[in-house]
């Protein structure tokens, strides 16, 4: 991931900032300029909740080079408590134990590592809720 | 009056047992368990580093701090000897992830295992002087021990975060004292992956002399005796050293028990005594006095006398307790997984 992209997307990747349409309430993540529901152009910035439930997932066993240390791992879509659906890696969980409907929380993790000298990418991942 | 407004810890869920490491190197596990007085250590998975541990610990500190607006945090200091970048501060990522940017001062600290308490020391000073309203001090590490070295049995991962301020305190910093000399007991040269240490030299002339120097210094400064404290927290490179230094100073095992985590956690370096303090605050009552003494090779110790306030009962359970992070939801890994997680295997590029 290029440094410019990390910098551009950090409000979403680091802080889960979304845009909420001030006309119809549609939540855009990442934020948009125009609401796809009502066409309005005004949004307020909100922070997404950090808990949800897994809706679906897939298991990656043959990983791209920057993720080989984590294989096998799962990538899933969770419905957050405000209804927003979000896709992320499911960490800290044996892939055999993942279930649809499993409660998850969002944690801040290293998302990509580019060799020994590339810039480090950080962002959100799901982990099983346990307390 | 200055002190702690919010505190929090974070520890990875993965653990490796002493027996699993000893098996690979043909070492005698019971000897290591007895000699180091520890049974297991925490292991960070590949997507966990000092930055991610710091963010999660700081989020817990913010939960306990109540209505502190991250934008009011005037300084973020992270003490660690495993900052993910050699050049680019960990604190920049942490501050942005918390929403504290851009009007603040950020720096990464390094002083072996006491870099976290350095951050606490400096934040308290800046709050006391009125330069900042709140300061975020973090001690965290994903420490490295060379394969087969005695250090490999103890080097662990974890972080603790403290929001320092002057109102709504959980614990008042009543006294601070620092003790430093040039004592080359442990070091890592530039571009080297693993640290070197002076073997038994790390004990008497280094850890014990320095920790005792700081503890005796702050006891003299405050006019207090070990009996005046409900709790004490010392740096814990293994299970044995903090127990021994406590006895040498006149503290009982009961006084250090809540913050004596190394037998089940290992040595989290810059996170060690700060995480011990979070576990102690988790069980402390209003009015309790706590002595905390860190130790960093090189060598130095920072000492603090904390007085717990009534607010502890309100905030204690607003975030996960440290003992829960330490003892629940654990996954034990074998040496192969540990070696992969800690990048100890040379791979083809």
3-state secondary structure chain B: CCEEEEEEEECCCEEEEHHHHHHHHCCCHHHHHHHHCCCEEEECCCCCCHHHHHHHHHHHHHHHHCCCCHHHEEEEEEECCCCCCCCCCHHHHHHHHHCCCCCCEEEEECECECHHHHHHHHHHHHHHHCCCCEEEEEEEEECCCCCCCHHHHCECEEEEEEEEECCCCCEEEEEEEEEEEEECCEECCCCCCCCEECHHHHHHHHHHHHHHHHHHHHHHHHCCCHHHCCEEEECCCCCHHHHHHHHHHCCCHHHHHHHCCHHHHCECHHHHHHHHHHHHHHHCCCCCEEEEECCECEEEEEEEEEEECCCHHHHHHHCCCHHHHHHCCCEECCHHHHHHHCCCCCCCC
- Distance from first CA to last CA of chain A, Å, rounded? 34
* Per-residue model confidence (pLDDT) at position A1: 77
Give B-chain residues touching A89 at CB under 8 angstroms: 47
CB B245 within 8 A of CB B211: yes
Report CA dihedral (B265, B270, B275, B278) to the nearest 10 degrees. 180
Domain coordinates of chain B in residue numbers? Answer: 3-170+316-341, 171-312
Residues in CB range of A46: below 8 A, 6 or more apart: A17, A18, A19, A20, A27
Residues in CB range of B234: below 8 A, 6 or more apart: B211, B215, B241, B242, B245, B246, B256, B273, B276, B292, B293, B295
Q: How far is B273 from chain A (nearest CA, A)?
A: 24
Least CB–CB distance from B47: residue in A10, A91, A115: A91
Least CB–CB distance from B96: residue in A14, A110, A113: A14
- Asked if A16 and A58 sit in the same domain, the reply is no
Residue of B nearest to A118 (CA): B85
Least CB–CB distance from A110: residue in B47, B59, B328: B47
* Residue B178 main-chain phi, psi, to 5 deg: -130, 145
Residue B143 structure tokens: 């420490």
- Asked if A11 and A23 sit in the same domain, the reply is yes
Contact A110 B93 (CB under 8 A): no
Domain with residue A55: its CATH number is 2.40.50.840
B235 is catalytic: yes
Please give the tally of structural domains in chain A. 2
* Per-residue model confidence (pLDDT) at position A21: 98
Contact B47 A108 (CB under 8 A): no
Q: pLDDT (tens digit, 0 to 9) for every residue of chain B, 349 residues total?
A: 999 999 999 999 999 999 999 999 999 999 999 999 999 999 999 999 999 999 999 999 999 999 899 999 999 999 999 999 999 999 999 999 999 999 999 999 999 999 999 999 999 999 999 999 999 999 999 998 999 999 999 999 999 999 999 999 999 999 999 999 999 988 999 888 898 888 888 888 999 999 999 999 999 999 999 999 999 999 999 999 999 999 999 999 999 999 999 999 999 999 999 999 999 999 999 999 999 999 999 999 999 999 999 999 999 999 999 999 999 999 999 999 999 999 999 887 6
CB A37 within 8 A of CB A24: yes
- Asked if A38 and A53 sit in the same domain, the reply is no
Contact B47 A14 (CB under 8 A): no
Contact B324 A131 (CB under 8 A): yes
Give B-chain residues touching A106 at CB under 8 angstroms: none
CA B306 to centroid of chain Cα atoms: 16
Catalytic pick among B10, B83, B197, B235: B235
ipTM score of complex: 0.97
Instruction: Give the C-alpha separation, B90 to B117, whole Å.
Output: 16
Give A-chain residues touching B94 at CB under 8 angstroms: none
Burial class (CB in 10 A: 0-12, 13-18, 19+), B223: exposed
Residue of A nearest to B330 (CA): A92
Contact B329 A125 (CB under 8 A): no
Interface check B257 vs A, CB under 8 A: no
CATH number of B171-312: 3.40.47.10
Give A-chain residues touching B343 at CB under 8 angstroms: 69
Residue of A nearest to B58 (CA): A108
Question: Which among B84, B80, B174 is positioned nearest to B118, based on CA atoms?
Answer: B80
Which of B47, B56, B59, B96 to mutate to probe the A interface, most A CBs <10 Å? B47
Q: How far is B272 from chain A (nearest CA, A)?
A: 21
One CATH from 3.40.50.970, 2.40.30.20, 3.30.565.10, 3.40.47.10 for B3-170+316-341: 3.40.47.10
Catalytic pick among B14, B20, B113, B123: B113
- Structural domain including A18 reads 1-48
Q: How far is B341 from chain A (nearest CA, A)?
A: 7
CB B344 within 8 A of CB B155: no
Q: How far is CA B10 from CA A70, B210, B227, B274, B326, in A?
A: 21, 28, 31, 11, 9
Q: How far is CA B122 from CA A128, B75, B164, B337, in A?
A: 36, 10, 10, 38
Interface check B287 vs A, CB under 8 A: no
Interface check B56 vs A, CB under 8 A: yes
Under-70 pLDDT residues of chain A: none
Burial class (CB in 10 A: 0-12, 13-18, 19+), B205: middle
Question: Which among B180, B141, B145, B165 is positioned nearest to B52, based on CA atoms?
Answer: B141
- Distance from first CA to last CA of chain B, Å, rounded? 55
Contact B49 A92 (CB under 8 A): no
Catalytic pick among B56, B81, B118, B152: B81
Burial class (CB in 10 A: 0-12, 13-18, 19+), B103: exposed
Q: How far is A111 from chain B (nearest CA, A)?
A: 7
- Asked if A89 and A112 sit in the same domain, the reply is yes
* Per-residue model confidence (pLDDT) at position B203: 87
* Per-residue model confidence (pLDDT) at position B77: 98
Q: Which of residues 17-46 of B touch A (CB under 8 A)?
A: 45-46
Q: How far is B41 from chain A (nearest CA, A)?
A: 17
Burial class (CB in 10 A: 0-12, 13-18, 19+), B204: exposed
- Asked if A72 and A124 sit in the same domain, the reply is yes
Work out the angle at residue A107's Cα, subtended by the Cα atoms of residues B163 and B138, and round it to the nearest 5 degrees: 25
Give B-chain residues touching A91 at CB under 8 angstroms: 45, 47
Instruction: Give the C-alpha separation, A36 to A14, whole Å.
Output: 25
């Amino acid at each position: 991931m290029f440094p410019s992209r990390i910098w551009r997307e950090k409000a979403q990747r680091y802080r889960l900032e979304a845009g909420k349409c001030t006309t119809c309430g549609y939540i855009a993540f990442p934020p948009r300029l125009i609401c796809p529901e009502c066409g309005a152009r005004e949004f307020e910035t909100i922070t997404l909740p950090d808990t949800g439930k897994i809706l679906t997932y897939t298991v990656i066993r043959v990983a791209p080079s920057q993720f080989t240390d984590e294989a096998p791992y799962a990538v899933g879509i969770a419905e957050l408590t405000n209804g927003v659906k979000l896709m992320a890696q499911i960490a800290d969980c044996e892939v055999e134990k993942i279930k649809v409907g499993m409660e998850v929380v969002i944690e801040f993790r290293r998302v990509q590592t580019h060799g020994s000298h590339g810039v480090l990418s950080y962002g959100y991942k799901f982990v099983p809720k346990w307390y | 009056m200055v002190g702690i407004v919010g505190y929090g810890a974070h520890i990875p869920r993965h653990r490796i047992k002493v027996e699993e490491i000893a098996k690979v190197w043909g070492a005698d596990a019971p000897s290591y368990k007895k000699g180091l007085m520890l049974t297991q250590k925490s292991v960070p998975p590949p997507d966990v580093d000092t930055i991610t541990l710091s963010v999660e610990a700081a989020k817990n500190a913010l939960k306990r701090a109540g209505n502190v607006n991250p934008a009011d945090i005037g300084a973020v200091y992270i003490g660690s000897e495993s900052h993910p970048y050699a050049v680019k501060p960990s604190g920049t990522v942490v501050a942005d992830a918390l929403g504290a940017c851009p009007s603040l001062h950020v720096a990464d600290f390094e002083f072996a295992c006491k870099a976290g308490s350095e951050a606490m020391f400096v934040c308290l000073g800046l709050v006391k002087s009125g330069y900042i309203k709140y300061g975020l001090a973090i001690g965290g590490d994903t420490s490295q021990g060379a394969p087969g070295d005695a250090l490999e049995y103890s080097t662990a991962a974890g972080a603790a975060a403290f929001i320092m301020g002057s109102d709504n305190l959980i614990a008042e910093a009543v006294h601070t004292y620092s003790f430093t000399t040039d004592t080359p007991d442990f070091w890592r040269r530039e571009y080297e992956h693993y640290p070197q240490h002076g073997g038994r030299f790390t004990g008497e002339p280094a850890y014990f002399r320095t920790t005792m120097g700081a503890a005796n210094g702050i006891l003299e400064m405050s006019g207090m005796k070990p009996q005046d404290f409900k709790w004490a927290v010392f740096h814990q490179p293994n299970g044995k050293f903090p127990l021994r230094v406590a006895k040498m100073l006149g503290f009982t095992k009961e006084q250090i028990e809540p913050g004596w985590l190394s037998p089940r956690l290992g040595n989290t370096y810059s996170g060690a005594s700060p995480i011990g303090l979070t576990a102690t605050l988790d069980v402390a009552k209003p009015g309790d006095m706590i002595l905390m003494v860190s130790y960093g090779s090189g060598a130095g110790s920072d000492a603090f006398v904390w007085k717990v306030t009534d607010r502890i009962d309100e905030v204690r359970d607003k975030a996960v307790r440290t003992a829960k992070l330490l003892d629940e939801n654990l996954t034990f890994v074998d040496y192969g997984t540990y070696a992969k997680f800690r990048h100890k295997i040379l791979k083809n590029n």
